[in-house]
Amino acid sequence: MRIGILCHPTYGGSGVVASELALSLAGNGHSVHLFSHDVPPRLGRSPGPVELHVAQGSPYPLFHSTPHDLAIMSRVLDLHRIDGLDVLHAHYALPHAISALLVRAAAREARLKPLKVVTTLHGTDITVVGNDPSYAPLTQYAITASDAVTAVSQDLADRSADNFDDAHRCGIKVIPNFVDLEEFSPCCDKAPVATAIHVSNFRPVKRVPWLVEAFADALDILHESGAEAELVLVGDGPQQAEARRIARERGICQHVKFLGMRDALPEVLAPADVFCLPSREESFGLSALEAMACGTAVLGTRVGGLPEVVEDGVSGFLVELNDREGYARHLAALLGDRDRAKRMGLAARDRAATRFDRNHVVRSYEDLYQALIEEDAPCPGE
């Protein structure tokens, strides 16, 4: 198949999924073109045979800001004219699904090869930005006009249908995120000191300052038994300064390491005992899945699609959103009993392997594309 993929070049999330999918599809022999306005995560350091098209557009005094999206659409249309794509897969509803639909319309108008549009909903494109009144009508259109719509969890599929009155004739198909079990593996020993880790873009939704407070509470519990522990924070973003301030105020700076922006490498995830994801909102929690594949138990919040990823009490624990005391208690319990954390980490690895294996999930996308191409738009599973 000839496949085009549109994504945000963001740190984490949908950009990672789109890049990993592109690499896997190309590895399976498809011709894959990835379009973005910058180099997306994971692609920059990959030798994989994906053709990357970075389109940024030219500044023009009349434009308030340079319209990357128009430049991306032009690039896709150009390529489609020459090479004839079969499928255009938009990751994140806004603006990519809209861009893909416009390219499909232009291709029809010009009587080019028919192009199927697949839209994958990732989370905040539905729950936050896509739901904002200033964008909601377009989000609705993205869902109803795409040839197929997928969501990364059942929770997100349900919320999308609720919020946007799922008029889409095919329904929204759940295709979960996935992990490469060879790349993300329990590759090294656990750290010498009990370690909790968190990886994110430090936006308010991730609640990193809340995590630092909870970790300080957990340290208080641990110190009663003389145990030591460390919190490793990977990433950067709007709430990093506040997280540092709280670490200072609680007097735990020597126990909190800020690593700054970097990929969630297995070498960083595997040595940790617990991966912390105390988000207010999480449609899936890809970073948690990658930690699980590395044999690290997860301590999350019971929100969104996280319960579909982490089995409470088996591969980790899920705590109610505002139960900081419960979160600290579970954190102290796992950091204080590293054998137990290790057993849960092994269960987490098992769950990642049985439910979210890259090869298996990528095949679901291939089947979806194939069904659209062959049957000229009927719904898979109908």
Q: Which is nearer to ligand GMT, 10 or 31 (CB)?
A: 10
13 interacts with ligand GMT by CB under 6 A: yes
Q: Which residue lies nearer to ligand GMT by CB, 158 or 337?
A: 158
| Cβ-Cβ contacts under 8 Å for 68 (sequence gap 6 or more) | 37, 55, 56, 57
Closest CB to ligand GMT among residues 10, 66:
10
Binding ligand GMT by CB under 6 A: which of 3, 17, 117, 292? 17
CB of 279 to ligand GMT, least distance (A): 6
- Considering only residues 44-83, where is the footprint of ligand GMT by CB under 6 A? none
Q: Does the protein bind ligand GMT through residue 336 (CB under 6 A)? A: no
Per CB under 6 A, does 40 bind ligand GMT?
no
- Under 8 Å between Cβ of 34 and 25: no
* Shortest reach from residue 319's CB to ligand GMT, in Å: 17
- The token pair at 134 is 């200033």
Q: Which region among 11-19, 138-146, 316-324, 343-351 touches ligand GMT (by CB under 6 A)?
A: 11-19
Does the footprint of ligand GMT cover residue 43 (CB under 6 A)? no
Residue 4 or 123 with smaller CB distance to ligand GMT: 123
Instruction: Indicate which single residue of 205, 227, 353, 373 sits in contact with ligand GMT (rule: CB under 6 A).
Output: 205
Alpha-carbon distance 233 to 145, whole Å? Answer: 41
Residue range at the interface with ligand GMT (CB under 6 A); choices 220-228, 237-245, 266-274, 284-292: 284-292
Question: By CB under 6 A, which span of 6-14, 27-35, 361-369, 372-380 interacts with ligand GMT?
Answer: 6-14
Phi, psi of 319 (to 5 degrees): -120, 150
Residue 14 interacts with ligand GMT (CB under 6 A): yes or no: yes
4 binds ligand GMT (CB under 6 A): no
Q: How far is the CB of 253 from ligand GMT (least distance, A)?
A: 28
Pair of tokens at residue 181: 């079990």
Q: Which is nearer to ligand GMT, 115 or 153 (CB)?
A: 153
Interface contacts to ligand GMT, rule CB under 6 A: 10, 12-14, 17, 92, 122-124, 152, 177, 205, 281-286, 304
